[in-house]
Amino acid sequence: MLFTLAAARQGCKVLEVGGSRGYSTIWLASAVALGVGRVVSLENDPRKVSAWRANVAEADLDAYAELIEGDAFTTLPALGKCFDLCFIDAEKGDYERLFALAREKITLGSLIVADNVLSHSDTLAAYSRARQSDPTLVSVTVPLDRGLEFSTIIG
């Protein structure tokens, strides 16, 4: 699904919050490689950072993906880039604040995808409700796998 979303936009610039060991990054980077886009992935666990670098290099995708090590609450605001697609997959209790930070880096018509909104509905039902009642977004819960909230910026 992430591959499909990223591949649909030529030169897609992707922001990923929570890169872990690079599994989702590899799907995203494989897609942006088709249109010479780029993935910026944020991760704060040093062991996962090492695994991310090894896995992305082994997949021969390091030309298309870079990892910024550190707490996303520090690294994300420092990014100067405009992104077309953002994937939020970090601590569930942080999604509300991460969405607000990511939104600052996203252009009109762009998409923010949040993972786990059904598997962690105790925490994330409020996140989905807030997105769906925001008139500057079109937001829908996609009941695929652990549940994804797709929020397109329209204003």
Ligand X SMILES: C[S@@+](CC[C@H](N)C(=O)[O-])C[C@H]1O[C@@H](n2cnc3c(N)ncnc32)[C@H](O)[C@@H]1O
Judged by beta carbon, residue 59 or residue 109, the one nearer ligand X is: 59
* Binding range to ligand X, per CB under 6 A, among 36-44, 54-62, 130-138, 144-152: 36-44
From the CB of residue 111, how many other CB atoms can be counted at a distance below 10 Å? 20
118 sits near ligand X (criterion: CB under 6 A): no
Contact 148, 86 (CB under 8 A): no
Judged by CB under 6 A, which of 51, 73, 134, 152 binds ligand X?
Answer: 73
18 forms part of the interface with ligand X (CB under 6 A):
yes
Spatial separation of the C-alpha atoms in residues 155 and 142, rounded to whole Å: 22
Which residue in 3, 45, 96, 132 binds ligand X (CB under 6 A)? 45
Instruction: Give the nearest distance from C-beta 113 to ligand X in angstroms.
Output: 11
* 73-102 as b/e: b if 16+ CB within 10 A: eebbeebeeebbbbbbbbebebbeebbebb
Using rule CB under 6 A, residue 71 touches ligand X: yes
Please tell me whether residue 31 binds ligand X under the rule CB under 6 A: no
**What token pair was written down for 30?**
């494989």
Judged by DSSP in three states, 136 sits in coil
89 residue type, one letter: D
- Is 58 a binder of ligand X (CB under 6 A)? no
- Binding-site member from 43, 55, 147, 150 for ligand X (CB under 6 A): 43
| H helix runs in 79-150, sequence order | 95-103, 121-132
Q: How far is the CB of 74 from ligand X (least distance, A)?
A: 8
Instruction: State the residues that interact with ligand X by CB under 6 A.
Output: 18, 20, 23-24, 42-45, 48, 71-73, 89-91, 94
